[in-house]
């Protein structure tokens, strides 16, 4: 997925898998995503993607939003103060 920010967010914060996920979610903050979406977005193996997903959940950066059949959907936790700051910074980059 090509980001309109041209990866400026990752250029500033680094190209870690966690940063790539946060950048993608900041670009599409209302998007709900699945575990498979994470695997595709960050291009790591499933075990590592699972670890990253749980890290972001534990830290409150993302949250579980709904489950359809046995597929869990996640979204950016826009109520978390750190996400609010990152979102403001991200949108400044897009100007």
Total domains present in the chain: 1
Model pTM?
0.78
Q: Which CATH number goes with the domain that contains 53?
A: 1.10.10.10
Token output for 6: 């041209």
Cβ-in-10-Å burial (0-12, 13-18, 19+) of 39 comes to middle
Residue 49 lies in a domain: yes
With a cut of 70, say whether residue 5 has pLDDT above it: no
Residue 71 lies in a domain: yes
Residue 1 lies in a domain: no
Strands (E), 19-95: 62-68, 71-76
Q: What is the model's pLDDT at position 86?
A: 87
DSSP label of 5: T
With a cut of 60, say whether residue 64 has pLDDT above it: yes
Three-state SS at 31: coil
Residue 29 lies in a domain: yes
Three-state SS at 71: strand
Question: Which pLDDT tens digit goes with each residue over 8-62?
Answer: 778 888 888 888 888 888 888 888 999 898 888 788 888 988 898 899 999 999 9
Distance CA 11, CA 3 (A): 12
Distance CA 10, CA 2 (A): 12
Residue 3 lies in a domain: no
**In the beta sheet, which residues pair with residue 68?**
71
Residue 78 lies in a domain: yes
Domain that holds residue 18: 8-94
Q: What is the model's pLDDT at position 95?
A: 65
Q: Which of 12-21, 32-41, 75-84, 86-95 has the highest mean pLDDT?
A: 75-84
């Amino acid at each position: 997925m090509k980001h309109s920010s041209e990866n400026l967010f990752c250029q500033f914060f680094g190209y870690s898998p966690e940063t790539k996920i946060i950048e993608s979610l900041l670009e599409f903050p209302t998007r709900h995503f699945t575990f498979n979406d994470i695997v595709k977005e960050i291009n790591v193996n499933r075990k590592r993607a699972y670890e990253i997903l749980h890290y972001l959940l534990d830290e409150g950066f993302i949250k579980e939003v709904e489950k359809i059949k046995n597929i869990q959907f996640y979204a950016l936790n826009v109520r978390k103060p750190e996400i609010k700051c990152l979102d403001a910074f991200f949108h400044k980059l897009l100007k």
